[in-house]
């Protein structure tokens, strides 16, 4: 995948090949929160409460985290990384996979067997501050993310923007309490009944936007339906952290279809 490192530096310096997928391992470590990190957290909170993109408050790129697991859907995982990086965001992939409860495995086999490599473990990612956390779909990838204690704690403790696509709105967000009864959300048609049972309704929108229950003031939850809506979903994420003009700028050279910016427009309306 363009823009994603094909190797990783890990403390154990050990890698192995498993079915053609590079499996990188490293021990979990926790670093104290630095003063720059504390300052950034304060600025993220200020951006959310004022509904102003962080990039207009702070002269550093907005930060996005995309969760990753064995069985994550390839397009839904890589489209947000690609499109957010086109916009200028600092994007990291965080693997939820572990071996024997000790070593984080950064290399995963995605839902169609494509090998993807995370930048960090989800436990390491929890030490950072993110403008948006993105949960891709695909099965059993969404199930693996839901079963990751570190991933669920990260999503619940992060009070800013969250986004999910395909199976993930029903399997991960609703299960974790990030989507609640009455929220507007969508998902893959195969999971529509489950999402309806959990929050009351599954919207037909290709990209749905709702205020985040229990989140910081101004924080949103963005959901979408599947691989075919992944570009619209990703452009909505650009609008979320950069604004609608940047989303249109990124979309132009991509030769997207009419309506590809509808999700971005919905985000802009929610932030207005």
Catalytic annotation on 188?
yes
Give residue 101's pLDDT: 74
| C-beta separation of 110 from 95 below 8 A | no
Give residue 17's pLDDT: 34
Confidence band, pLDDT 50/70/90 cuts, at residue 40: low
Q: Which residues of 59-72 are buried (b: 16+ CB within 10 A; e: fewer)?
A: eebbbbbbbbbbbb
Other Cβ atoms within 10 Å of 53 Cβ, number: 18
Continuous segment of H or E residues that includes residue 244: helix 244-251
pLDDT in tens, 216-266: 999 999 999 999 999 999 999 999 999 999 999 999 999 999 999 999 999
Give residue 58's pLDDT: 54
Measured between alpha carbons, how far is 59 from 172 in angstroms, rounded to an integer? 33
| C-beta separation of 214 from 177 below 8 A | yes
Least confident of 13-22, 104-113, 125-134, 260-269: 13-22
What average pLDDT score do residues 59-87 get? 96
| C-beta separation of 64 from 82 below 8 A | no
Spell out the domain ranges in the chain.
Answer: 15-271
Q: Which residue has the higher pLDDT, 42 or 25?
A: 42
pTM of the model: 0.81
The Cα diameter of the chain in Å comes to: 49
Give the active site residue among 166, 187, 202, 257: 166
Give the active site residue among 144, 150, 158, 188: 188
Confidence band, pLDDT 50/70/90 cuts, at residue 60: confident
CATH fold of 15-271, please? Rossmann fold (3.40.50)
Catalytic annotation on 166?
yes
pLDDT in tens, 96-122: 999 977 789 999 999 999 999 999 999
Which three-class secondary structure state does DSSP give residue 76?
A: helix
C-alpha closest to that of 24 among 137, 130, 117, 122 = 117
Confidence band, pLDDT 50/70/90 cuts, at residue 86: very high
What average pLDDT score do residues 135-153 get? 98
Measured between alpha carbons, how far is 157 from 109 in angstroms, rounded to an integer? 28
Strands annotated E in the chain: 14-18, 21-27, 63-68, 90-95, 98-99, 103-105, 107-109, 115-117, 120-121, 132-135, 161-165, 207-211, 220-224
| C-beta separation of 29 from 121 below 8 A | no
Measured between alpha carbons, how far is 57 from 189 in angstroms, rounded to an integer? 39
For 122, half-sphere exposure in the C-beta direction (CA atoms, 13 angstrom radius) is 25
What's the whole-number average pLDDT of the chain? 86
Measured between alpha carbons, how far is 25 from 33 in angstroms, rounded to an integer? 24
Give residue 36's pLDDT: 44
Least confident of 14-23, 202-211, 214-223: 14-23
């Amino acid at each position: 995948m363009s823009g994603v490192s094909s190797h990783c530096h890990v403390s154990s310096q050990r890698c192995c090949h498993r079915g053609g997928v590079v499996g990188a391992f490293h021990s979990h470590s926790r670093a104290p929160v630095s003063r720059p990190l504390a300052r950034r957290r304060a600025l993220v909170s200020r951006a959310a409460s004022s509904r102003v993109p962080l990039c207009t408050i702070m002269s550093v790129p907005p930060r996005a985290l995309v969760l990753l697991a064995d069985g994550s859907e390839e397009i839904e995982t890589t489209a947000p990384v690609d499109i957010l990086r086109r916009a200028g965001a600092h994007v990291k992939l965080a693997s939820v996979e572990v071996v024997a409860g000790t070593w984080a495995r950064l290399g995963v086999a995605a839902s169609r067997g494509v090998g993807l490599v995370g930048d960090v473990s989800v436990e390491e990612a929890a030490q950072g501050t993110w403008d948006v956390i993105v949960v891709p779909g695909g099965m059993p990838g969404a199930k693996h993310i839901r079963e990751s204690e570190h991933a669920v704690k990260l999503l619940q403790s992060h009070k800013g923007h969250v986004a999910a696509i395909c199976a993930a709105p029903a399997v991960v967000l609703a299960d974790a309490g990030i989507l609640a009864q009455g929220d507007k959300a969508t998902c893959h048609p195969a999971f529509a009944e489950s999402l309806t049972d959990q929050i009351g309704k599954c919207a037909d929108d290709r990209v749905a936007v709702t205020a985040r229950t229990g989140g910081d003031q101004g924080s949103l939850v963005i959901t979408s339906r599947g691989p075919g809506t992944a570009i619209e979903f990703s452009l909505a994420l650009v609008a979320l952290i950069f604004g609608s003009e940047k989303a249109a700028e990124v979309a132009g050279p991509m030769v997207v279809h009419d309506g590809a910016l509808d999700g971005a427009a919905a985000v802009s309306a929610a932030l207005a």
